Structure 1
Amino acid sequence: MMTRPTLKDIATRAGVSVSTVSYALNDASTVALSADTRARVRRIAKEIGYIPNSLAQSLRSRTSRSIGMLVTKPLSHPRYATIVQGASAALAAERIHLTILADASGEIYLDDYRSGRLDGLVFVGHDDEAAPDAVLDAAQREGLPLVVLDCGAPAGDVAYSTVDFDYAGGATELLEELAVRGVRSVLHVRPDVASRAERLREKALVHGLARHPRLSLRVVSTGLTDEMLRTIENDPEAVRNYEGDLGSRVDDALAAVAGDVHEIAVLCSWGGDVEPVMASRRVRDGGILVAALAAGVLSPRVWPQLRYSRLPLDRAGAEAARLVMQELAGGEHEHVVLAPELDRP
């Protein structure tokens, strides 16, 4: 079996000491070496296929080149998978590993940071879940490089960076799009789930209606509660039951709306509700416009009556990666707000 080339192998071929080889291969070394020696050592290392031992380098430099991302929602959900993908790609470009973490308390991951197994953390929030107090305290007291994603703007000065979405701006822009298209009646399909995003969207929609007095809005509850949400995340049968019930709720609500179908729109708060809404009989048969404040799996290029205010999820992951690297370098704390993008056919 072929053995892995070592520093000693390079030293023997180059006629120098092992320490000289180490200095020649280390870009951060301040030891003076001649240009010829450095070039010869690197050429031989390349010729024999020497690969640095990243674990040994990490132990010497006291850095793991690994960032932990704390995600407490299933990665089977496209929203969180896309955020992770964006962060992973951005970190990989810098040869930094991304480790997915799941413990909501964050306590064990602080031990990993303190022992050098993690260089920093990104916390991915959802609904009304905030970053654990222990994690925030570690950023303040211990200098933990930390980025908090989708938890809202922090109150006052904080010792970490944040990435958020402009939920209000997305709702305002989409309502303007409906008004321009001549819509007069909007059915707002939304869950009964505690959510900062929903509160921001509701406020923006109320302000938008004041600017467009011809528009009327009626809320249609999906019937989804916090408890139900936890159930359907892990139960395919519960998902099918929920989607069938939602289609019936939308059909019943549309039956009570008077006027031309071209003046009616169904506005979904959640992208995951788009597919069952599009499958409802009255929406399908009438060609009613469906809009959503977060993207779902259906494409507007295939469904002409569909509009999305698309959250830039992959960009949010990439921004979180950029900011945590900035935190690692001792840079300024930043608070980034990303605008949704209106997705048309």
Structure 2
Amino acid sequence: MARKGARPTMWDVAARAGVSQATVSLVLNDVGGGRVAEATKARVLDAVRDLDYRTNAFARTLRSGESGLIGFISDEVASSPFAGKLLKGAQNLAWETGHVILSIDTYDKSELEAAAIDTMLSYRVRGVVYAAMYHRVLDLPAALRDVPTVVVNAQDRDGVVPNVFPDEEPGGYTATQHLLEAGHRRIGMINIQPAESDLPAGTGRLAGYRRALADAGVPFDLDLVRAGHGTIEDGLAAARDLMDATEPPTAIFCGNDRTAWGAYRGLDSLGLRVPDDCSIVGFDNQETLAPSLDPGLTTVELPFEQMARRAVEILLSTQGSYPQNNPIECSLVLRGSVASAKARE
């Protein structure tokens, strides 16, 4: 029996269960296989619970070379509105599998990133989730090539490690198709980047918009497309510009929720109402914004939680390699910002 006030040891568990210390070790490390009878396992686990025994994680690291930690390195994710979902997705699966997340935000500073990687390696992490604030093609730090790594919300330029990212084009297709199904044929789009930019988010969402129009037999009209930078101000100005045209759109697909908020304001400044005068669909499902607009914004959700969960799943997989690219579906969230085009006639 453990001394009063002392932490119970593996020997205490063995004595309580009436087995050897070696048997306790086999059970706790799940390596006994058929060598330990189920009834014996049950006695050991009961003793663990009764004594409130906790394994020595440091000693286990020395024995196995693995700490049970999963590193989570991000650039500016902690300052973005989606940080909670990324960390939640990673942490939930880590916890379910007996691991712990060690998270460091580098604030997009190279010296902090180098220090973060050194820290992860010193703790002998099982692997690293390398997360980006926005979907882009990036250069993976050379030091991460020596440890299992998965890139999240971005893509590794050299194709060295698996990537998990939003499936942008189908997301843009879904948003536009929803407007088409509501009867709209003159549909504008306000993108979140300049026309010359090759960032995957804007190019993918625009490609989805164009493909949905083509599949519906609606000609693509460049006059209905506006570039922007994903800001409220750009959404306001672009929406005013579109609605001032001789033939204004009856609906607008906005490349993100902040742009959609700006579009709401732009319509309001013209004495127009969403969705009575123009339907709006966004992209992100920013929880602090989309449900709070009046009416609530129908939008396409970026799958942050699912992406981080998939990344941890890949790191922990022992069933062979995952595909290099792992796009995750962006689903439509319905609220009140889309009305039937026929209802406007």
TM-score strictly above 0.5:
yes
1:1-345 equivalences under 5 Å are: 2-10=5-13, 18=21, 21-23=24-26, 25-29=28-32, 42-103=45-106, 105=110, 106-125=113-132, 126-135=134-143, 138=145, 142=146, 144-152=147-155, 158-180=159-181, 181-192=183-194, 195-210=199-214, 211-213=217-219, 217-222=223-228, 243=232, 245-246=233-234, 248-250=236-238, 252-259=240-247, 263-280=249-266, 281-282=268-269, 285-287=272-274, 288-297=278-287, 298-299=289-290, 306-326=297-317, 329=318, 331-334=320-323, 335-345=325-335
Match of 1:289, as an amino acid?
Answer: S
Q: Report the CA distance between 1:97 and its aligned residue.
A: 0.9
> Does the 8 Å contact 2:130/2:152 carry over to 1?
yes
- Kindly tell me: are residues 79 and 153 of structure 1, through their superposed partners in 2, closer, same or farther at Cα, counting changes over 3 Å? same
Match of 1:72, as an amino acid?
Answer: D
Q: Distance in 1 between matches of 2:250 and 2:28?
A: 67
Identical amino acids, percent of aligned pairs: 22
- Kindly tell me: are residues 331 and 110 of structure 1, through their superposed partners in 2, closer, same or farther at Cα, counting changes over 3 Å? farther
Q: Distance in 2 between matches of 1:300 and 1:41?
A: 50
Match of 2:206, as an amino acid?
Answer: E
- Kindly tell me: are residues 135 and 293 of structure 1, through their superposed partners in 2, closer, same or farther at Cα, counting changes over 3 Å? farther
**Number of equivalenced pairs:** 316
Q: Report the CA distance between 1:340 and its aligned residue.
A: 1.5
Q: Report the CA distance between 1:53 and its aligned residue.
A: 2.1
TM-score, normalising length: structure 2: 0.75
Question: 1:154-207: CA deviations, max 9, x gaps?
Answer: 67xx55322122211221232222233224141424344762221233344344
Greater length-normalized contact order (CA 8 Å, ≥ 6 residues apart): 1
Q: Distance in 1 between matches of 2:271 and 2:297?
A: 11
TM-score, normalising length: structure 1: 0.75
What is the CA RMSD across the aligned residues, in angstroms?
3.6
Q: Which runs of 5+ in 2 are unaligned?
A: 336-345
Q: Which runs of 5+ in 1 are unaligned?
A: 225-241
Question: 1:235-274: CA deviations, max 9, x gaps?
Answer: xxxxxxx64x4465145314422347xx522321122333
Q: Which moved more, 1:2-11 or 1:82-91?
A: 2-11
Q: Distance in 1 between matches of 2:67 and 2:119?
A: 10
- Kindly tell me: are residues 35 and 341 of structure 1, through their superposed partners in 2, closer, same or farther at Cα, counting changes over 3 Å? closer
Q: Which moved more, 1:162-171 or 1:36-45?
A: 36-45
Q: Which moved more, 1:105-114 or 1:177-186?
A: 105-114
> Does the 8 Å contact 1:71/1:124 carry over to 2?
yes
> Does the 8 Å contact 1:82/1:314 carry over to 2?
yes
